[in-house]
Amino acid sequence: MLMDELRVLLTHKQIQDRVGEIAAQLDRDFAGQSVIFIGVLKGATIFLSDLARRVQLDATFDFIGVASYGKQKQSSGEVRLTKDVEQPLTGANIILVEDILDTGLTMNYLRNMLLTHQPRCLKIAALLDKACRRQIPIQADYVGFTIPDEFVVGYGMDHAERYRNLPDIRVLPPELI
């Protein structure tokens, strides 16, 4: 199936508008402070780069890697660190940036791991929230859109590494998953 035949769930414009709103909220919440954006590879890279360019805060970036879904639809429940952060986090304001909060297993693991560094605060920014799929009670502090239980691709999100470069967020039909 061609990329532009996939159904659009959120247009690039809708995403940009919402990213701008979240950035404005971060500007208010962290006024006068510096923040570290930690993006979860690879899905959050596009969201992080747009969000970071919309805030007016003193900000630095870092990235963290976890074992991904690969070609499977379901999370195995096991989360493995494949790349750690590179800067000191003690006393920092961390904004953990994720593409999509699904079962919550990844975020729960990462949150607990990052809290061992004793940051000043740790907030979660998730572009998408599949709230109905949650297995672990964890919520993002900043949510772009709550979406139904559909497999989405684009704007950084993949299926078997494809589609990350789509500017819109589109739905992958179940027969293609």
Stretch that binds ligand IMP, among 19-27, 29-37, 87-95, 147-155 (CB under 6 A): 147-155
From the number of C-beta atoms within 10 Å of its C-beta (0-12, 13-18, 19+), residue 133 rates as middle
Mark residues 98-137: x for contact with ligand IMP by CB under 6 A, - for none.
xxxxxxxxxx------------------------------
CB proximity list for 94: less than 8 A, separation 6 or greater? 35, 36, 38, 114, 119, 121, 122, 123
Pairing of strands 152-153, 169-171: antiparallel
* CA dist., res. 9 & res. 148, Å (int): 10
Nearest to 144, CA basis, from 167, 126, 166, 157 = 126
102 catalytic? Reply is yes
Is residue 164 at the binding interface for ligand IMP, with CB under 6 A as the rule? no
* CA dist., res. 55 & res. 26, Å (int): 7
Of 26 and 130, CB closest to ligand IMP: 130
Of 32 and 175, CB closest to ligand IMP: 175
Of 29 and 103, CB closest to ligand IMP: 103
Which member of 102, 129, 158, 168 is catalytic?
A: 102
Is residue 171 at the binding interface for ligand IMP, with CB under 6 A as the rule? no
Name the amino acid, one letter, at 66: V
Is residue 26 at the binding interface for ligand IMP, with CB under 6 A as the rule? no
Q: Which residues bind ligand IMP (CB under 6 A)?
A: 40, 43, 68-69, 75, 98-107, 151-153, 157
